[in-house]
Structure 1
Amino acid sequence: MISVDEALQLVLQHKMNLGTEEVPLLQAVGRVLAQEVTADRDLPPFDRVTMDGIAIKAQSFASGTRSFHIEKIQAAGSPQTALATAENCIEVMTGAMLPANTDAVVPYEVCEIQNQVATVLAAKVTSGQNIHRQGSDSTAGSILVSGGVTVTPAIIGTLASVGMHQAKVYRMPRVAICSTGDELVDVEQTPLPHQIRRSNAYVLAAALQEAKVPVSLCHLPDAPETMQQELAAILPQHEVLLLSGAVSKGKFDFLPQGLEKLGLATVFHKIAQKPGKPMLFGKLPEGKVVFGFPGNPVSTYVCFQLYFWPWLKASLGLKTQPQKAQLAQPISFPPALGYHVPVTLTNENGVLQALPVKTSGSGDLTSLYKADALLSLPADQDEFKAGESFPLTLL
């Protein structure tokens, strides 16, 4: 049995080279960018008017001119015009090019316009006011977005601004999620007194779909030969197997043996932790990987969060920052196991406080939706004081 830290390091050592693909711009949201994005021209590409009003030469105002004859209007989207006389002005609209021979924009709110003459009511006009200067955001050729980041709507806007109708992103692995056990029936069925509905597979599938990972769902019966046959049929179409149940020492836990017959090289089987002690991780031919999670709902979800997500992020080149939170109340846990506690979080003066969620054990699925995170307590302590800080995994 290995430690929590050892298990995570072994998982990360087996990250997958997923390659890249190009997708239409709007399909890139939530994916991991696999390229640098550079400015194809200065941003903004011209001196841009930021308020509706009049464009003038600031020196004319400084010299005592307060009323300016309006020569013309400069609209947004129109070619640049030019001021012919320094004591005159041009009406300008937000987003328009700043007319040549002007260097200040006075908003309508501090102007009075009558008979094509704009009188400035402001006490002061400075050169450059209400102008978004060319290249002040970025210059042509500069890096706007680095690779290895999750594409957000704001990044989509940046890509659109430089004319990228497609984006290069890291390819997501094809994942099969398999529940096990004859006691499980599907969600639309009415369970008999000795049965329960499948839920673990749907929890994992929902999390992966939210991350744009393509998933398939399946269910494996408690019959070794049938289980092996169905796994053999699933493997060619998938690169990752997420298995829930049948990995412990029970009489019907046939998965480890079935996977070995399909070529599994076990990396580890059992972690000194609660929940999720029996977790299995291994490699299959062609570089495929298997995460075998214990069947209890909390165990499945905790192991998924602590080991699969870091593996996926590492495979996608995403960097993660370790986080910690302070325990809000003392906990006693004598077993020499890492203890992953579901917690709710509050922020007190910039410090995250983690309050344990009351739970009845690894089968208490409803406790998961109440939790914000997992607080991981080390195996070499049995008393954990309020105010101590421990590693945090946001859910």
Structure 2
Amino acid sequence: MSGCGAENGLISVDQALDLILQHTKVLATERLKLNQSLNRYLAEDVYSNINLPLFSQSAVDGYAICAQSAIESHTEFELIGEIQAGHSSELQLKAGQAVRIFTGAKIPFATTTVARQEIVQVIDASRIKITENLKAHADIRDVGEEVSVGQLLANKGQQLSVGAIASLSMAGIQAVEVFKYPKVAVVITGDEVAQSVEDFATGKIFDANGPLIEAWFRNQAQQVEIFHVVDTEAAVQELIQKLSATHDLILTTGGVSVGDYDFIRPVTLDLGFEQIFWKVKQKPGKPMFFARLERADNSHCYLLGLPGNPAAVYVGMQIYTSTLLNALQGQKQQPNWFSAVLTHDLKMDSRERFLRMSASFDQSVLKVKSLSKQQSHMLSNLMQANCLVRIPAGQSLNEGEIVQGLFIH
């Protein structure tokens, strides 16, 4: 098979991902306040120190009642007081008595059931009547019915979503042990970046990679430092050497191919980095570069070099950067690919392709459709794309075949 995809030395996408997982050392842990831990991965199991609910409480606005059996319609009770949510009360019920109560309030001693206010008729300030039959123990939330003391709430390795944080907060968890998030530096290489429209006259272009990467990290509630460097060996070497001493990950765009001004790889190797892989049999993003440096304290700095074309950067972020960041936080697993039905034919290519597509359900079947303008310098179809779909190398696909993909946000 001819073409650039047949170049010797290329590894497959899955081989590249496996190498990232194999050669990445998990970072240390740190203790964070729960409200600062969104999207972080737990470094330990979390157990409850309390019962939920903390006490038996009313599930509705209504009346707490003490009765010796189920209550028949038209039964009357003596009203002896009121309990609001968040207020304590020493009231104790006796048979035939009731107390006004509100949702979440602690039910008084000897309560046998709660009557929601819709089925209660207030006769006067001291008497109420039940207007429907009422079972024993109705609308009572029992102490510990959701969570009991010592119960496992969250597992080590679980990512803390908004819902997880809310759940742990309700159980009284105020701080959690999580894997440290890597300190990330982003290096945008190239002399061609325009600062204004006037720069176009000199052949420059606006930078999409910097805003793309910064927004990608912000979408994960993370901040990164972004650096721009000119295409000279001395400038690249000075910056990489400086960052390798202070950061866990250096993410670069451009400068990883074989051009006269592609200095990232040779400079990195000269600085003592170990090459893990270079060049992946994929499109876009063939000249992907991954290396690591072991520092004097046995910690590591990793460098992931992405090609300069923005579509290749986007693919690299969604697949490789995401995998690497997760691995640094103890999540050593490949991306979670989905399966879907292709809605049209696709021609063969010598390299595995990642196509920007639109995924939607059709009669409960997930289907994907390719979008136009897939070239590596084009990004406009990201306005419609919601997934990246893997197209295997060396084979054409027909409508109706099953493909793998990754949802993008």
Other structure's SS at 2:276 match: strand
1:121 equivalenced with 2:131 (yes/no): yes
For 1:325-352, what per-residue CA distance to the aligned partner results, in whole angstroms no more than 9, with x for missing partners?
221211112x321111111110123322
Other structure's SS at 1:185 match: coil
1:344 equivalenced with 2:354 (yes/no): no
1:384 equivalenced with 2:393 (yes/no): no
Pick the aligned partner of 2:347 from 332, 356, 359: 332
CA distance in 2, matches of 1:109, 1:18: 57
Partner of 1:208: 217
Matched-pair contact (CA < 8 Å) for 2:114–2:138 = yes
Partner of 2:4: none
Range that drifts further, 61-70 or 348-357: 61-70
1:119 is matched by which residue type in structure 2? K
1:33 equivalenced with 2:42 (yes/no): yes
Q: Once the 2 structures are TM-superposed, how far is the Cα of residue 65 of structure 1 from its aligned partner?
A: 6.6
CA distance in 1, matches of 2:265, 2:336: 34
2:317 is matched by which residue type in structure 1? F
Pick the aligned partner of 2:337 from 322, 325, 328: 322
Other structure's SS at 2:368 match: strand
Runs of at least 5 residues in structure 2 that lack an aligned partner in the other structure? 1-9
Pick the aligned partner of 1:295 from 304, 308, 320: 308
Matched-pair contact (CA < 8 Å) for 1:83–1:89 = no
1:137 equivalenced with 2:146 (yes/no): yes
- Map 1:235-314 to 2 at 5 A: 235-286=244-295, 287-314=300-327
Partner of 1:109: 118
- Map 1:80-91 to 2 at 5 A: 80-91=89-100
Partner of 1:393: 406
Superposed CA RMSD: 2.1
Partner of 2:6: none
CA distance in 1, matches of 2:143, 2:260: 72
Partner of 2:7: none
Q: Once the 2 structures are TM-superposed, how far is the Cα of residue 312 of structure 1 from its aligned partner?
A: 1.4
Other structure's SS at 2:290 match: strand
Range that drifts further, 32-41 or 130-139: 32-41
1:384 is matched by which residue type in structure 2? L
Matched-pair contact (CA < 8 Å) for 1:266–1:281 = yes
1:368 equivalenced with 2:378 (yes/no): no
2:310 is matched by which residue type in structure 1? P
- Map 1:98-247 to 2 at 5 A: 98-115=107-124, 116-122=126-132, 124-186=133-195, 190-247=199-256
1:44 is matched by which residue type in structure 2? P
2:97 is matched by which residue type in structure 1? N
**TM-score, length basis structure 2:** 0.90
Pick the aligned partner of 1:79 from 67, 88, 93: 88
**TM-score, length basis structure 1:** 0.93
Partner of 2:371: 357
CA distance in 2, matches of 1:47, 1:140: 15
Matched-pair contact (CA < 8 Å) for 2:11–2:279 = yes
CA distance in 2, matches of 1:321, 1:220: 34
Matched-pair contact (CA < 8 Å) for 2:74–2:129 = no
Pick the aligned partner of 2:19 from 10, 17, 28: 10
Change (3 A) 1:189 1:290: farther
1:289 is matched by which residue type in structure 2? Y
CA distance in 2, matches of 1:297, 1:61: 70
Range that drifts further, 16-25 or 186-195: 186-195
Q: Once the 2 structures are TM-superposed, how far is the Cα of residue 373 of structure 1 from its aligned partner?
A: 1.0
Q: Once the 2 structures are TM-superposed, how far is the Cα of residue 64 of structure 1 from its aligned partner?
A: 7.5
Partner of 1:52: 61
CA distance in 2, matches of 1:306, 1:312: 10
Q: Once the 2 structures are TM-superposed, how far is the Cα of residue 63 of structure 1 from its aligned partner?
A: 6.9
Count the aligned residue pairs: 392
CA distance in 2, matches of 1:10, 1:307: 11
Matched-pair contact (CA < 8 Å) for 1:325–1:375 = no
Other structure's SS at 1:390 match: strand
Q: Once the 2 structures are TM-superposed, how far is the Cα of residue 385 of structure 1 from its aligned partner?
A: 1.5
2:147 is matched by which residue type in structure 1? S
For 1:198-253, what per-residue CA distance to the aligned partner results, in whole angstroms no more than 9, with x for missing partners?
22122112212322334111122121122212221222221111111111122221
CA distance in 2, matches of 1:184, 1:341: 26
1:54 is matched by which residue type in structure 2? Y
Q: Once the 2 structures are TM-superposed, how far is the Cα of residue 82 of structure 1 from its aligned partner?
A: 4.6
1:56 is matched by which residue type in structure 2? I
Other structure's SS at 1:59 match: coil
